[in-house]
Structure 1
């Protein structure tokens, strides 16, 4: 049956014209016009999840890997609300997710008529506290412009999730306007360039520094500014530490690399001692500042795309700019220095102190497990980590080796690993690794059906320690005992097999080989490691 073009068609046409080729979500009663339109357009691959928050995590994982605005399509009320915890993570991580939510028919808006299924008194208002911008549609002809504006908002530095709301009857109403043509909409944001006088002053400070140091955050990675940072660091002979969200911002084994041991006072002390500390692409939040204990004694230059994060925690010369534009400008301004044996020796000394601290904590099993995972994952392959003890280790100790490293450390919610990895696998050519604990795994277990249905190449490592391991450690540390952290859980291998997903139960000794085999096999797989891992104890100021 051929039907007239409607608002749903306009929405899908606009997404295609803006460049969308993959979308995530779950159908719902008020959004059926949108999904019927999507069915008729094979240009967009739709990956259907089992729970809306997991669909939002999948869109987040896709957006982080590609840097592209990624559509998330959900229905009204419960469906929309379930995305919000995941979109909060996208906001913290600057992931450009474009959520299109349906709404009750327009006759039910504003309290004119009550009792619609899934009705919320103020659905856009609920979203406003989470997303970067909200765009409401009340007529079909408004759809292309609203989605175009939302796309531009999501992509503009700092990137982030946005919300478009379209009522059910508008999605089903006649389009009333011609088909959206390629090139008819443009979601390209204006570049966020630094002000010249700020670059001049930053270059003056850095050139005058005897011991410059760089702290590189996730903004460097998101901007694709790694090469510019490398040039600048080498010209300045400045050691570089990377935040947990910017682990691939600087080469891990470079002589000037301090790596990512930000929860260690040895690293914090070194950052504090710089006469000029360049912080780029980081708001110096809780984790990046070693829980707000870092107190630089020299000048700080902060380059940050999020205006609200500039000088929000530490006074600085504040440069509001995209990291790539600012680093390119600085690299062209500062004077080149001779290779500094002192700077390289200091970076090596910091790493040696960290290694010596770990060697005294009886953490051989934990380091063997992380090394086995690193050995098994091919260089360049992306990994997605849930909030679990092994992920906490990876924040500090994982060598990216050219692969994107993503976790839910922006807001710390459970359940991120598997669905985000599925989102990446929808576009990545090759294996993707997801890592969860048994507690976090239960949040996303239904997405094994998604993995199987769409034949996504994700290997899911579940470290089964019988409960919420990190919370167990926190409670034992704070109270001398843990409560409500122990969990009944399924036989994960049997459960995965029931979805048609190959699964193996492994040991610390077999982990590298079993994980390599799983990653080498196409399609989804599960590796379960029963192990009780411990966190390292960070050093603190005396």
Structure 2
């Protein structure tokens, strides 16, 4: 009976809710969705063939959301997940929370039990009472459809919310009885349903720009701080830094926004004492799209104590007073605001001071390196080998692992959206492998992933998805026989090591069992050839690095 009803519904003149969903997703610029079909989403998937959307099947819903995260960071577009009711949502929760922490736009469309069963506690399959309560703490917006006709407006709202002012995961749950339901709003073809263009991001008022430009022109020792919300502002930030002869420092989420070869770019080194001192003693700090949080400073807990003036730029008004009160707050788009400032300072060019500022940055970086090296001397040859092997336009995806904490600072990157990391913020493990897959699917740029032997065990199954997609993707596994960073912290705290020394499988053999290639390198000079070979083949390559003891 139910099968016949479903077939009859599918053949109706009006398109179904699932068909309209796929059509509108395509209209909003979505080309790839990540998900694992389940018994509750069969009718959702009826709308997929012919929609123009590519479906990627991970091996775990957490992997689906991590892939969507990597896709979003590499492309700048929302990553999209399809999840089943109950366990699909709970499995993806950690990855959604990571995206929330880092303000990554992610659209999660999940099933939920039939409308007649909601809140009934009848023991239905995959029943999760109050499913939206599970995701409420790490979503920027949620909505539960109660009729198919709500779908167009719901999607329009979702894409507006993910566009500004502070993106993050959006969760839309659709009762399983609505997927095959024909739309009853009078529209009879898919062409009747159109996407809504996102709102233009706000620019700052002319008077505010004039005040900020005056302060920047008068400053003798300015500094520019960039956060992850400034991904599209690299060219304007560089031009402004040159105009006012200001060093530029980036959060880890902002790494690469300004080319780290530029003489005024101090990279993602805000955790080091000399850089902190320079920032705090600046007579003017321009902080753009950054929370000024401990995660922006790479876990240095104490807030900055600004001795000079502070100008903050952010689309989210709440962030303008987060962790430090500004002398001038500008609630506007980062790229637009920085370009407005460049234009307002057209007659200003502190060219004579630029060389001394560049020399100051180089001195600061040399001093940072003296803090990088102690205890990490044996890891920096690997960082240098990785920089030589990574293409200039490469995307580098990292997990929470020892070598990544060194590359955060010492590996120079040259383009926006080059650094995808979970090492701060929510700081989950298992991120890098699926996120690298998502990034490789989103961008034609070469992608390299770095993950530890402990972290990859969280999401190892996603190698199979990379094999299915024939991704030329090198995945570096830093094998230090356990949770090396936690071992170090235990030793530092004089806590006896427990739970951190792990048995690891033969990763090379495992990779080959998945249909990937695998190899092992023991010296930094072997890394370049291994990565070049990985880029030259079809399919992923797991490159196990034997960490120095």
Q: Tell me which interval the TM-score lies in, with the shorter structure as reference length.
A: over 0.9
Root-mean-square deviation over aligned CA pairs: 1.8
> Residue 139 of structure 1 corresponds to which residue in structure 2?
147
TM-score, normalised to structure 2, is 0.92
> Residue 540 of structure 1 corresponds to which residue in structure 2?
none
Query: Are 1:55 and 2:64 an aligned pair?
Result: yes
Aligned-pair distance for 1:368?
Answer: 0.5
Aligned-pair distance for 1:113?
Answer: 5.6
Name the CA shift for 1:240/1:208 in 2 (closer, same or farther; >3 Å).
Answer: same
Query: Are 1:283 and 2:291 an aligned pair?
Result: yes
Query: Are 1:322 and 2:333 an aligned pair?
Result: yes
Q: Deviations over 1:495-538 (max 9, x none)?
A: 111111010011124222222222232321110011147xxxxx
> Residue 514 of structure 1 corresponds to which residue in structure 2?
530
Aligned-pair distance for 1:463?
Answer: 0.7
> Residue 540 of structure 2 corresponds to which residue in structure 1?
524
Aligned-pair distance for 1:225?
Answer: 0.7
CA distance in 1, matches of 2:134, 2:372: 45
Query: Are 1:345 and 2:359 an aligned pair?
Result: yes
Aligned-pair distance for 1:303?
Answer: 1.0
CA distance in 1, matches of 2:490, 2:272: 21
> Residue 248 of structure 2 corresponds to which residue in structure 1?
240
Query: Are 1:460 and 2:460 an aligned pair?
Result: no
CA contact 1:458–1:524 (8 Å) conserved in 2 = yes
CA contact 1:273–1:298 (8 Å) conserved in 2 = yes
- Residue 427 (structure 1) aligned to one of 432, 439, 442: 442
> Residue 517 of structure 2 corresponds to which residue in structure 1?
502
CA contact 2:242–2:351 (8 Å) conserved in 1 = no
CA distance in 1, matches of 2:265, 2:271: 16
Structure 2: 5+ residue stretches without partners: 1-6
Q: Deviations over 1:465-493 (max 9, x none)?
A: 11011111122112343221111121111
> Residue 344 of structure 2 corresponds to which residue in structure 1?
333
Q: Look up the SS of the partner of 1:143 in the other structure.
A: helix
Name the CA shift for 1:38/1:211 in 2 (closer, same or farther; >3 Å).
Answer: same
TM-score, normalised to structure 1, is 0.93
CA distance in 1, matches of 2:215, 2:193: 44
Structure 1: 5+ residue stretches without partners: 534-542
CA distance in 2, matches of 1:504, 1:164: 42
Name the CA shift for 1:113/1:441 in 2 (closer, same or farther; >3 Å).
Answer: closer
Aligned residues: 528
Aligned-pair distance for 1:358?
Answer: 4.0
> Residue 539 of structure 1 corresponds to which residue in structure 2?
none
User: Runs ≥4 in structure 1, deviation > 4 angstroms?
Assistant: none
Name the CA shift for 1:135/1:192 in 2 (closer, same or farther; >3 Å).
Answer: farther
CA contact 1:30–1:167 (8 Å) conserved in 2 = no
> Residue 429 of structure 2 corresponds to which residue in structure 1?
414
Q: Look up the SS of the partner of 1:68 in the other structure.
A: coil
CA contact 2:517–2:539 (8 Å) conserved in 1 = no
Aligned-pair distance for 1:47?
Answer: 0.6
CA contact 1:17–1:184 (8 Å) conserved in 2 = yes
Query: Are 1:303 and 2:313 an aligned pair?
Result: yes
CA contact 1:57–1:420 (8 Å) conserved in 2 = yes
CA distance in 1, matches of 2:192, 2:386: 44
CA distance in 2, matches of 1:250, 1:183: 40
Q: Deviations over 1:192-242 (max 9, x none)?
A: 322433322222221221111111111111xx1101101111111111111
CA distance in 2, matches of 1:173, 1:273: 63
Q: Look up the SS of the partner of 1:124 in the other structure.
A: helix
Aligned-pair distance for 1:293?
Answer: 4.4
Q: Look up the SS of the partner of 1:439 in the other structure.
A: coil
CA contact 1:59–1:97 (8 Å) conserved in 2 = yes
CA distance in 1, matches of 2:282, 2:457: 44
Aligned-pair distance for 1:190?
Answer: 3.5
The range that moved more, 429-438 or 179-188, is 179-188
Written as runs of structure 1 = structure 2, the 5 A alignment for 1:218-233 is: 218-221=228-231, 224-233=232-241
Q: Look up the SS of the partner of 2:344 in the other structure.
A: coil
- Residue 80 (structure 2) aligned to one of 48, 55, 71: 71
Q: Look up the SS of the partner of 2:88 in the other structure.
A: helix
Q: Look up the SS of the partner of 1:406 in the other structure.
A: strand
Q: Look up the SS of the partner of 1:319 in the other structure.
A: strand
- Residue 32 (structure 2) aligned to one of 13, 18, 22: 22
